[in-house]
C-alpha cells in the first residue's frame, strides 16, 4: 500500500497536469460569469454567483483573475500578465473559480446563462435580488419554541404598528361604512387568511369564477404602436400583465387532481399533468401543513420579458411584484365574496414548482401563491379563521362591526 504522503504527491502531480492540460488546450477560453456580484458582508469581501448560489470569500489573487476575465481570454495570457505569481498557483485558482462557477469556459457555459439575457437590462440590482432570494429554506413559525420567541422579543422588541406626529393638529374623520351597508363593504371587511378548511370539494363553477374574475381578460385597449393590450380586474404597470397562473387542483368537482395552466384570454384550462397533488402541494408551500385541506392552490408566475422588453431599468422589477400583490388581493376578495376560505403565501419551493410547471425559472419564475378551501365551520365567537394561535379582538374604528 502506498503511503499517504506519496498518494498526496501523486494527486498533486495529476492535479497540476490537469491544470496544465486545461491551459494548453487550444480552445480553452474563459470569462467571468455575468451573474457574479461582490459585496462586503461581516467584514469580508464576497464574490457571489447569484444564479448558481455559490459565494466565496475574495482573495487578492481571485480578484485579479476575475477582473482579467472580463471578456473571453486564455489562461496562458493570464499567466503572462500575473508574472509575480507562480504559474501553478494561478492555475490552481483558475481551476477553482471554474469549478465554483465564477469563471465559465467557452462552450461549457451554465446551461441557463443564455436565458439570463432576459435580465440584462435589470442587472445586477433586480436579478441579484430575485435569484439570490429563491428557494429560501423556511423555518415554520410553529417550530420556533415559545421560549425562543420570548427571548427574541426581549432582545429585539417589535417596532410599533402605528405612527403618530406628536405636534400635528388632530382631525377626526367621518365614520367608516358598516359591513351591513353593502355587499362590497361586507366582502372587504370579511376577507381573512384562512388556515382551517372543511374537507368538501370546490365546485368547478367557483374555481372558474375565481380564475375569470382574477386572471381573466376583461377587455382590451388599443395602444399607439403596441396594438391591442389586455386589461384585467387588477391594475398592471404599463398594462404589461406579466402574470400567469397555474392551478394545483386538489379537490375540485369535475376536475382531475393535477396541475393546470389558465388561459386568461379564452377562459380555459390546459392540463399539464394529472397526479396526486396533496403532498406535492405541501412541498410547494414549503411544508405548510395547515394548507393541506385546501381545495385548490393558484401558483402565480411572472414572464419577465413582457416588462423588461418595454422598461429597460431595474425599478420595473418592482412593478412585477406589485402586480402579483394586486392579483392576490383581487383573488382573496373574490373568494370571500364567494363564501370561500382564501389564503396567500410566499413561502414557496420555487425550483420544485418551476420544474413541475416546465418553466425555466429565469424568463418565467414563480413569485407568489394563493389558495382556497371550503370554510371550516366556525366554533362560535372565538373562532379565528387564521388559526388557533390567533384570537379575534374588536377594532376601535368600528370597521369590523357586523
Ligand atoms: C406577501 C404575503 C406573504 C404571506 N405569507 C404567508 C405564509 O407564508 N404563510 C401563512 O400562513 N400566511 C402568509 N401570509 C398571510 C399573513 O400571515 C396574513 O395576511 C396576516 O396574518 C394577516 O391576517 P389576515 O390576512 O387575516 O388579515 C402572507 C401574506 C402576505 C401578504
- Ligand 1 center from residue 330 Cα (angstroms): 15
User: φ, ψ for residue 324 (rounded to 5)?
Assistant: -60, -40
Q: What is the band of 12 on the pLDDT scale with cuts at 50, 70, 90?
A: low
Least confident window among 98-112, 173-187, 189-203, 261-275: 98-112
- Ligand 1 center from residue 356 Cα (angstroms): 24
Nearest ligand 1 atom to the CA of 290 is 11
For atom 22 of ligand 1, the residue with the nearest CA is 193
For atom 17 of ligand 1, the residue with the nearest CA is 193
pLDDT at residue 274 in the model = 97
Ligand 1 pocket: which of 331, 344, 399 to mutate (most atoms within 8 A of CB): 344
Rg (CA), the chain: 27
pLDDT at 1 over 80: no
pLDDT at 235 over 90: yes
Cα distance between residue 340 and residue 65, in whole Å: 58
Average pLDDT over residues 144-169: 91
pLDDT at residue 358 in the model = 97
Domain boundaries, the chain: 4-113, 143-158+176-375
Q: State if residue 365 touches ligand 1 by the CB under 6 angstroms criterion.
A: no
pLDDT at residue 22 in the model = 62
Average pLDDT over residues 247-262: 98
For atom 6 of ligand 1, the residue with the nearest CA is 345
Cβ pair 302, 322 in contact under 8 A: no
CB count within 10 Å of CB 302 equals: 25
pLDDT digits (tens, 9 = 90+) for 290-341: 999 999 999 999 999 999 999 999 999 999 999 999 999 999 999 999 999 9
For atom 18 of ligand 1, the residue with the nearest CA is 193
Residue 372 in grid coordinates: 382556497
Q: State if residue 344 touches ligand 1 by the CB under 6 angstroms criterion.
A: yes
- Ligand 1 center from residue 346 Cα (angstroms): 8
- Ligand 1 center from residue 324 Cα (angstroms): 14
CA dihedral sign, ordered 200, 205, 208, 214 = negative
Q: Kindly state which CATH superfamily the domain 143-158+176-375 is placed in.
A: NADH Oxidase (3.40.109.10)
Closest C-alpha to 212, from 271, 156, 263: 263
Architecture of domain 4-113: Alpha-Beta Complex (3.90)
C-alpha dist (Å) from residue 85 to 29, 75, 282: 20, 13, 53
Closest C-alpha to 299, from 268, 322, 331: 331
Ligand 1 pocket: which of 187, 193, 287 to mutate (most atoms within 8 A of CB): 193
Same fold, 4-113 and 143-158+176-375: no
Q: State if residue 346 touches ligand 1 by the CB under 6 angstroms criterion.
A: yes
Least confident window among 76-90, 139-153, 282-296: 139-153
The pLDDT mean for the chain works out to: 91
Q: State if residue 347 touches ligand 1 by the CB under 6 angstroms criterion.
A: yes
Nearest ligand 1 atom to the CA of 390 is 21
For atom 20 of ligand 1, the residue with the nearest CA is 193
pLDDT at residue 400 in the model = 55
pLDDT at 229 over 70: yes
Amino acid at each position: 500500500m502506498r503511503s499517504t504522503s506519496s498518494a498526496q504527491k501523486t494527486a498533486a502531480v495529476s492535479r497540476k497536469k490537469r491544470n496544465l492540460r486545461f491551459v494548453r488546450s487550444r480552445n480553452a477560453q474563459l470569462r467571468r460569469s455575468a451573474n457574479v456580484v461582490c459585496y462586503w458582508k461581516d467584514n469580508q469581501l464576497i464574490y457571489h454567483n447569484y444564479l448558481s448560489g455559490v459565494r466565496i470569500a475574495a482573495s487578492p489573487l481571485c480578484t485579479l483573475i476575475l477582473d482579467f476575465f472580463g471578456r473571453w481570454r486564455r489562461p496562458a495570457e493570464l499567466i503572462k500578465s500575473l508574472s509575480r505569481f507562480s504559474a501553478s498557483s494561478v492555475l490552481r485558482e483558475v481551476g477553482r473559480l471554474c469549478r465554483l462557477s465564477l469563471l465559465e469556459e467557452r462552450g461549457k457555459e451554465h446551461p441557463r446563462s443564455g436565458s439570463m439575457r432576459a435580465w440584462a437590462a435589470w442587472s445586477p440590482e433586480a436579478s441579484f435580488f430575485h435569484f439570490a432570494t429563491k428557494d429560501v429554506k423556511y423555518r415554520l413559525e410553529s417550530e420556533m419554541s415559545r421560549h425562543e420567541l420570548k427571548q427574541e422579543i426581549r432582545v429585539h422588541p417589535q417596532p410599533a404598528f402605528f405612527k403618530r406626529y406628536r405636534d400635528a393638529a388632530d382631525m377626526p374623520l367621518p365614520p367608516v361604512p358598516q359591513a351591513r351597508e353593502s355587499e362590497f363593504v361586507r366582502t372587504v371587511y370579511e376577507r381573512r387568511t384562512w388556515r382551517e378548511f372543511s374537507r368538501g370539494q370546490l365546485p368547478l363553477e367557483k374555481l372558474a369564477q375565481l380564475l375569470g374574475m382574477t386572471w381573466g381578460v376583461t377587455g382590451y385597449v388599443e395602444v399607439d404602436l403596441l396594438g391591442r393590450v389586455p386589461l384585467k380586474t387588477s391594475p398592471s404597470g404599463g398594462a404589461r400583465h406579466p402574470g400567469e397562473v397555474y392551478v394545483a387542483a386538489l379537490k375540485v368537482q369535475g376536475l382531475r387532481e393535477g396541475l393546470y395552466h389558465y388561459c386568461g384570454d379564452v377562459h380555459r384550462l390546459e392540463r399539464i399533468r394529472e397526479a396526486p397533488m396533496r403532498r406535492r402541494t405541501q412541498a410547494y408551500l414549503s411544508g405548510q401543513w395547515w394548507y393541506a385541506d385546501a381545495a385548490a392552490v393558484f401558483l402565480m408566475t411572472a414572464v419577465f420579458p413582457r416588462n423588461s422588453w418595454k422598461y429597460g431599468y431595474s425599478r420595473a422589477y418592482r412593478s412585477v411584484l406589485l402586480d402579483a400583490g394586486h392579483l392576490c388581493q383581487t383573488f382573496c376578495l373574490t373568494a370571500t365574496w364567494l363564501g370561500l376560505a382564501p389564503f396567500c403565501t410566499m413561502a414557496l419551493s420555487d425550483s420544485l414548482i418551476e420544474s413541475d410547471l416546465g418553466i425555466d425559472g429565469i424568463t418565467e419564475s414563480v413569485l407568489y401563491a394563493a389558495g382556497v378551501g371550503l370554510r371550516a365551520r366556525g366554533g362560535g365567537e372565538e373562532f379565528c379563521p387564521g388559526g388557533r394561535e390567533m384570537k379575534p379582538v374588536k377594532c376601535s374604528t368600528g370597521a369590523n362591526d357586523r
